[in-house]
Chains A and B, each alone.
Chain A
C-alpha cells in the first residue's frame, strides 16, 4: 500500500543540524511532488517545503529559508530535509506528504507519514 515513513528526528541543541528522511513505497515516487509540513506541540499545521517531481524546483517557507533544504533521491525513493542552524521554535512533529496529482505539484496532500519529532533545546 502507499506509505511514507519518516525518520531522523531527535533532541538537538540550538544552532546544530539534523537531517530528516522520508521513505516512500507503494507508488511511483519519481512522478510526484513531495512536501514537508510541521506541527508544533499543541499547535496547527505549517507548510515547510516542497520539491517538484523531478527535483528541478524547490520552495521553502520564509521561516526556514536559508536554513532548511529539501531534496530527494529517486533511486532510494526517499525525501530529505536538511535542517541547519536549528532554533527552539523549530521544535515540532515533521510530516512528509505526497502530492495528490502526478507531474507538476498541485498543493494537495493526499498521503501523510506519521511524522518524526524534532526537539530543539539546550
Chain B
C-alpha cells in the first residue's frame, strides 16, 4: 500500500501570501496524484488531477507540480475562501486508493 505524507499539518498565512503544500509518496507514483479541497461541513472538491491539471472551474491561483515521490500544491495568492483542509490522493497502484493525512490552511 502506498503511503502519502502531507506537510505541514497546518499552515497559517495572510491573504495575498503564497501557500506551498507538500505531499510525499512512499514509492514512485509517476504523476498519478490528485488534490482535493475540503471546507468545514462540506464534501471534498476536486482541485488537481495527474499532478498538475486543474479541474473544471478551479481558479488559476491553484497549481500542482511534481512527479515520482514529491508533489506540491501551490496557492499563488491566498484568498479568504481558501481556508480549508487539502488532501492529496494517489491513483498509481490501486486498490487501495490512498489519501494523505491533510494540510489545514488557515487565513490570518
Contact = CB atoms under 8 A, between A and B. Distances in A.
Contacts of A61: 95-96
Given A95-B43, A108-B49, A112-B43, A46 B95 contact: no
B66 interface: no
Interface of A: 35, 44-47, 50, 59-62, 95, 100, 106-110, 112-115
Which 3 pairs between the two chains have the least Cβ-Cβ distance? A107-B91, A112-B43, A47-B97
A24 to B, nearest CB: 14
Nearest to A46: B99
Interface string B28-70: 0000101010100011111001000001000000000000000
Nearest to B102: A44
The prevalent SS among residues of A at the interface is strand
A107 B97 contact: yes
12 contacts: A44-B100, A45-B99, A47-B96, A50-B97, A61-B95, A100-B55, A107-B34, A108-B49, A108-B91, A109-B46, A112-B44, A112-B45
